[in-house]
Structure 1
Amino acid sequence: MLKPLFDAFVRALAQAFVPRVIGMTLLPLLAMTALSLVLGWLWWDAAVAWMQAALHGWAVLNWLDGRLGIDRPGGLVGLLAPLAVVALATPVIVLATLSIVSMLLTPTLAHRVAERRFPQLARQRGASLAASIGWSAGSLAVAVLALLVTLPLWLVPPLVLVLPPLIWGWLTYRVMSFDVLADYASAEERRAILKAHRWPLLAMGVLCGYMGAAPGVVWASGLLFAALFVVLVPVAIWIYTFVFVFSSLWFAHYALNALQQLRAERAPAPPAPVALPPERPAVTDASWRDAHARR
């Protein structure tokens, strides 16, 4: 399992930096950046003010604020409120970016991989567009529910670095695995591959989820984020988009290779050669006359 996993990773990494693929990341980038900037312009101040009011009710933070004596407006709460807003907005941005990439780019990237590496792979069209949307919507609903249920645990510093990437990774595994196989595998083939390769595919999704956590470093500071909002949002969203485009390529290389192997294993064996009796020497007129003369 590890060799195909690593081989697909290397192929996807090389293909992700092709100029045409880099160009494909611009559409989700423009859509998400415009949406994020508009929402931030409309709601950023209100969201930070609401978060400050919510955090002021925490006795622990008030006690720490008195002990630390942070010299800035709002004290410790004023420092933490923008970070908390960013922490809450990040999953929404991640989920929206993943949805846009999976709907607009993943099928195109899967076709690109198939044409270049698996040109003989026949399309079985085992899932319609409606089925793909339904699968993605159901997986997205489960991921959002998991995010909401685990939200209180994000206040524990180690868990905030573990839980969101795990949830994003699970969602990436579910969405990408389905979408890259939707056009090429039959429904039965898709179920067989997802069952046989569940753990490698899940590991790929989790790794992609942790790679998707990288933009958190870009806007880790509330002050920096507030000052450079217009710059940092496009940078972070492009990183998300690039990670999910790379994920599409990685899943496409791995899953389509698994599909090709599955069909090779199921192909009927060629019929065994039939043993023919040894050929008898042809009887010519000369051989017949010699045999008759010896008689």
Structure 2
Amino acid sequence: MRLVPDLHYTEKISFKKVFLQTLKSIFYPEIILLLFLPLAISAVVVALLFLLMAGSLTSIYQAGLQTLTSGSAHSWFGSYFDWLAPAFPFIFILLLIAIAFPLIVVCNLFLTSILASSYLVKLIAKRDFPGLQPKGKARFVEGLLNSVVSVLIYLLAWIVTLPLWLIPGFQVALPVLLTAWLNRRICAFDALTDFASDAEFKQVYAETKNKSYLVGLITAGFNYVPLAFFISPVFTMVAFIYFHLAILQAKRSAASE
């Protein structure tokens, strides 16, 4: 079977169909049980982390407030800091949210990738892509390394862009853009690993970069939909599985023509 060098096969994939299938499939009994597990574990991990850091966070808050009101910085900048002191509690809470949000997103997606991705791929392939032949190989170590590296890059980018959270609108735009990138890096890899051959894996992963990022962008937006946040990691993984298995199926069909 020859591999198709052009991208015409990708045009056959409907985003509408992909997300309708995703919405339908998350109500499968086998998937419903997985929906809240990653979030529950992530919430416990992040809550314990903040609980362990409660003393340090209190000290940081008090030191910051003192600096704004009577510290050396106040003597340097004088009245310029007067307006900031009343807003400091809000800014501090915003900072905590800015720290907690990526931790929860990362934990959710990482746990879904490690604990459920292979199961979800096989389940969806059996139900909706019965004719798709698995040609992949075990890539657990590669997948784990990909997830760890992606998470580290994501967290580093988050830290670097934290000051931009003070700009109106960036509190939403930055998390969505960064999470879209993370979604694509982790979920696209997991979706293809069991069914794509080495050559197919490299081609599909590279050729669908933009469309795959769009899937990541749409699923990242679910973090801001009321209640959807709770099922976001599994929904994201399932959407990527449908998209990439459909792409792989279309590629093989085009290659056989």
* Bin for the TM-score computed over the shorter chain: 0.7 to 0.9
Number of the residue aligned with 1:38: 48
- State yes or no: 1:249 paired with 2:238: yes
Identify the residue that residue 115 of structure 2 maps to in structure 1. Answer: 104
Render the CA deviation track for 1:135-180: whole Å, top value 9, x for unaligned.
1122222212211221221221221221121111101011100101
Which of 70, 95, 104 aligns to 2:106? It is 95
- Mean Cα deviation higher: 150-159 or 167-176: 150-159
What is the RMSD computed on CA atoms of the aligned residues? Answer: 2.4
Gaps spanning 5+ residues in structure 2: where?
A: 1-10, 69-73
Q: Which amino acid aligns with 1:22?
A: I
Deviations 1:62-119 (A, max 9, x none): 42257xxxxxxxx432343233212222111211111011111122111111001111
Q: 2:36–2:231: 8 Å Cα contact kept in structure 1? A: no
- Report the CA distance between 1:130 and its aligned residue: 0.5
Higher relative contact order (CA 8 A, sep 6+): 2
Highest Rg: 1 or 2?
A: 1
C-alpha distance in structure 2 between counterparts of 1:20 and 1:52, whole Å: 48
SS in 1 for 2:169: helix
Equivalent residue of 1:161, what SS?
helix
Aligned length, in residue pairs: 238
Q: Does 1:159 align with 2:148?
A: no
* Residues 54 and 194 of structure 1: CA distance in aligned 2, closer, same or farther (over 3 Å): same
CA contact (8 A) 1:165 1:209 kept: yes
Structure 2 distance, partners of 1:263, 1:3, is 13
Change (3 A) 1:3 1:190: closer
Compared CA separation, residues 97 and 195, structure 1 to 2 (3 A): same
AA in 2 matched with 1:97 = N
Whichever residue aligns with residue 82 of structure 2, its letter is W
Residue 244 and residue 26 in structure 1: after superposition, are their counterparts in 2 closer, same or farther (change >3 A)? closer
Match of 1:84, SS state, is helix
After TM superposition, the score normalised by the length of structure 2 is 0.82
* Unaligned runs of at least 5 residues, structure 1: 67-74, 216-234, 270-295
Mapping for residues 146-225 of structure 1, pairs under 5 Å: 146-214=157-225
Identity %: 26
TM (norm. structure 1) is 0.73
Distance 1:241 1:191, change over 3 A: farther
Relative distance call for 1:3 and 1:185 in structure 2 (3 A) is closer
2:53 corresponds to 1:64:
no
